[in-house]
């Protein structure tokens, strides 16, 4: 009986040693040993993708660029730059870039405004910002677009497809009617997409927004014909 108890006790001792040995092995795992990260992909501002790697399975750094332009936002998670999703980004039109600001006394006057940020990526698309500048035209609801150009404005991606008609009064002529311009545009939000005409004297509803034409350049003259590639239309996008 005593021999049986001693044998049973020996087995328990061996089991405990085995458990403690495995615990010690895992908590002292060497850095150069293989770590398997989850197969996730993060899209970068240039449209490329990066995956997870390293001991902490963090996303590898996105390719760096000289600067990025977008709207500066702040919430409970910190600062972000809101800009346009790359062309291969699917239905999403807004791209969120987390920012780490090493700049003291960020003015509340630039939050919610268009800015240009300079810095380097430290992990994934998280940008460590060295410098931030408020743009001259810092209203995020306004954007100037040329024909065949696409721009993200305040939650809507707008493509100016073509000019349908331009009946504006020439600046060197006295008219009884100011006239207007009609443009064909493609509008895209996170939940909707539509191609339609918009006239400079009317607002149009789209998704949860109101779209209008605020300014058209160049100004018409009776002695000149405006080439299509010279048109620049400033659109305004406001939430309903």
pLDDT in tens, the chain (240 residues): 555 445 555 555 555 665 655 554 444 555 555 667 887 889 999 999 999 987 788 899 999 999 999 999 999 889 999 999 887 666 789 999 999 987 766 777 889 999 999 999 999 999 999 999 999 889 999 999 999 999 999 999 999 999 999 999 999 999 999 999 999 999 999 999 999 999 999 999 999 999 999 999 999 999 999 999 999 999 999 998
**Strand, helix or coil for residue 231:** coil
Query: What would the two tokens of residue 219 be?
Result: 């100004």
Neighbours of 12 (CB within 10 A): 9
**CATH class of the domain at 41-134:** mainly beta
Given a contact cutoff of 8 angstroms between Cβ atoms, the answer to whether 32 and 81 are in contact is no
For tokens 């730059």, the residue is: 81
> Cα 182 to the chain's mean position, in Å?
29
Q: Where in the chain is the domain with CATH 2.40.50?
A: 41-134
What global pTM score does this model have? 0.76
Burial of 188 (0-12, 13-18, 19+ CB in 10 A): buried
Asked if the bond preceding 26 is cis, omega within 30° of 0, the reply is: no
Q: How far is Cα 44 from Cα 51, in angstroms, rounded to an integer? A: 11
Q: Using the 8-state DSSP alphabet, how is residue 232 labeled?
A: E
Query: What would the two tokens of residue 1 be?
Result: 């009986």
Q: How far is Cα 134 from Cα 144, in angstroms, rounded to an integer? A: 17
Q: How far is Cα 160 from Cα 35, in angstroms, rounded to an integer? A: 49
**Strand, helix or coil for residue 107:** coil
Given a contact cutoff of 8 angstroms between Cβ atoms, the answer to whether 193 and 187 are in contact is yes
Q: Using the 8-state DSSP alphabet, how is residue 123 labeled?
A: E
Q: How far is Cα 199 from Cα 222, in angstroms, rounded to an integer? A: 21
């Amino acid at each position: 009986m005593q021999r049986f108890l001693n044998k049973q006790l020996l087995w328990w001792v061996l089991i405990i040693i085995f458990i403690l040995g495995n615990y010690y092995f895992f908590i002292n795992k060497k850095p150069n040993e293989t770590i398997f990260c989850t197969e996730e992909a993060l899209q970068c501002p240039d449209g490329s993708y990066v995956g997870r790697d390293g001991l902490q399975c963090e996303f590898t750094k996105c390719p760096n660029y000289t600067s990025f332009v977008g709207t500066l936002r702040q919430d409970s998670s910190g600062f972000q730059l809101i800009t346009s999703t790359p062309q291969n980004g699917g239905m999403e039109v807004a791209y969120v870039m987390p920012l780490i600001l090493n700049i003291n006394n960020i003015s509340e006057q630039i939050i919610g405004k268009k800015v240009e940020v300079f810095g380097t990526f430290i992990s994934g698309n998280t940008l460590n910002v060295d410098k931030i500048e408020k743009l001259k035209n810092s209203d995020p609801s306004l954007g100037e677009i040329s024909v065949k150009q696409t721009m993200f404005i305040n939650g809507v991606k707008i493509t100016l497809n073509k000019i349908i008609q331009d009946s504006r009064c020439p600046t060197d002529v006295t008219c009884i009617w100011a006239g207007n311009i009609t443009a064909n545009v493609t509008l895209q939000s996170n939940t909707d997409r539509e191609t339609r005409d918009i006239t400079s004297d009317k607002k149009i509803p789209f998704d949860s927004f109101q779209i209008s034409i605020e300014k058209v350049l160049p100004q018409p003259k009776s002695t000149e014909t405006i080439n299509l590639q010279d048109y620049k239309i400033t659109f305004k996008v406001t939430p309903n």
